[in-house]
Amino acid sequence: MTYSPQTQEAVSLLRRLIATPSVSRDEGAAADLIFQFLKEKDAHPQRLGNNVWALSEPFDPARPTILLNAHIDTVKPVSGWQRDPFTPVLEGDRLYGLGSNDCGGGVVSLLEVFIAPLPFLPTGGESQHTNLVFLASAEEEVSGGKGIESVRDRLPRIDFAIVGEPTGMQPAVAEKGLMVVDAVAHGQAGHAARNEGVNAIDIAVADILRLRDLQWTVSPLLGPVKTTVTIISAGTQHNVIPDSCQFTIDVRSNECYTNEQIFERLCHELQSELKARSFRLSSSSIPTEHPFVQRCIARGMKPFGSPTLSDQALMPWPSLKLGPGDSSRSHTADEYILLSEIDAAIRLYTDLLSAPFTP
């Protein structure tokens, strides 16, 4: 199938990104690639660390401003790859390679829309009606402090953001937050052969079972809060009652609670000593009445809630996730994206952004 020059350019850039390893906190070469691409397009890119952004021109602070964001970092390759994860391989409509789906397809699709000026002119072409800001962010996969958080204050006022995560080009109007809680159950050491001591494992097990029984308000889009114990460690030798048991709780919050509220309840319900690593990655949502969401609905798109976290959690402005690809392919062996998905994304982004935007 023959695609538009825009799509062909996007795919060419994506192939170069796949061939440029950019595991989180080591995205420098990929940032160089994006920066140079924008520079060649006379887009006057700016950079801080491994984050690269550019403003549409002419930029008028009086106009509404939409941020187009996608991340350039990837996870480490998982075992099971049947291909070299850093060698782009095209088989039919499928382009294989690490980061192709998460989130390379979103990066190149949004970038192509950003550098194309004509669709953003109102009828008659008198003047641009909406400012665009393109941001390729780093450290998204690890929610690192040198990613989008480090550049938020350097951006102009943002009225709305599109996050190009793989959603099958359906609008994710809510996403679950994340909080990691480290727990320690305290017991008392003793000899395993005698009826003495307090086994910290028993305390931890009781708390873990309590986690399974907790009832949370159910979000129509995101379901209930999800608490999952993912790591556990205790004991030093077989004949000693352990006096401590450490376990880690992965908390996926919905928009009905802040992470602080969830933590407070866990502290009340569990016997173990708890410590949250951070409260900063809360659930986020945007009302379906928002003008851009309504614009999506009018085109037959279906809003949904996403269980996965993104840079959206660190955005103080209204936003939604909307990008090519399928979230189920992310972080998997032989990750791929379809060229047809990139082509459709560019066309749909262009259509959605061509009309005047009112925050």
Angle (deg, nearest 10), helices 28-40 and 105-115: 20
What separation in angstroms does the CA of 180 have from each of 24, 53, 55, 148, 254? 19, 30, 35, 20, 14
Read off the tokens for 155. Answer: 């951006």
Alpha-carbon distance of 189 to 37, in angstroms, equals: 62
- pLDDT of amino acid 126: 47
Would you mind telling me the total number of residues written for the chain in this entry?
Answer: 359
d(CA 78, CA 80): 6
Please state, in angstroms and rounded to a whole number, the distance separating the CA atoms of residues 121 and 41: 19
Query: Rounded to an integer, what distance in angstroms lies between the CA atom of residue 202 and that of residue 212?
Result: 16
- Give the Cα separation of 171 and 220 in Å (integer): 15
CA distance linking residue 105 with residue 4, whole number of Å: 16
- Host H or E run for residue 206: helix 200-213
**Cβ 249 vs Cβ 207: under 8 Å:** no
The DSSP code sequence of 215-263 is --PPBTTTBS-EEEEEEEEE-SSTTEE-SEEEEEEEEEE-TTS-HHHHH
Take residue 251 and report the two structure tokens written for it: 């908390």
Contact 52, 38 (CB under 8 A): yes
Q: What is the predicted pLDDT for the residue at 117?
A: 62
Please state, in angstroms and rounded to a whole number, the distance separating the CA atoms of residues 278 and 180.
Answer: 7
State the sign of the Cα–Cα–Cα–Cα dihedral 131, 51, 109, 299.
negative
The answer for 15, left when phi > 0, alpha when psi is -120 to 50, beta otherwise, is alpha
Instruction: Give me the tens of pLDDT residue by residue for the chain, a chain 359 residues long.
Output: 789 999 999 999 999 999 999 999 999 999 999 999 999 999 999 999 999 999 998 899 999 999 999 999 999 999 999 999 999 999 999 999 999 999 999 999 999 999 986 445 444 444 568 999 999 999 999 999 999 999 999 999 999 999 999 999 999 999 999 999 999 999 999 999 988 899 999 999 999 999 999 999 999 999 999 999 999 999 999 999 999 999 999 999 999 999 999 999 999 999 999 999 999 999 999 999 999 999 999 999 999 999 999 999 999 999 999 999 999 999 999 999 999 999 999 999 999 998 888 88
Phi-psi region of 156 (alpha: psi -120 to 50; beta: other; left: phi over 0): beta
Cα separation, 256 vs 216, in Å, equals: 9
Residue 251 is which amino acid? Answer: V
Q: Is 233 exposed, middle or buried (0-12, 13-18, 19+ CB in 10 A)?
A: exposed
> Which is it for the CA torsion 9, 13, 19, 23, positive or negative?
negative
Q: DSSP string covering 52-73, please? A: EEEE-SS--TTS-EEEEEEE--
How deeply is 249 buried, as exposed, middle or buried, from its count of CB atoms within 10 A (0-12, 13-18, 19+)? buried
CB 14 within 8 A of CB 101: no
Which pairing describes strands 240-241 and 190-191: parallel, antiparallel, or unpaired? Answer: antiparallel
Token representation of residue 117? 């000026």
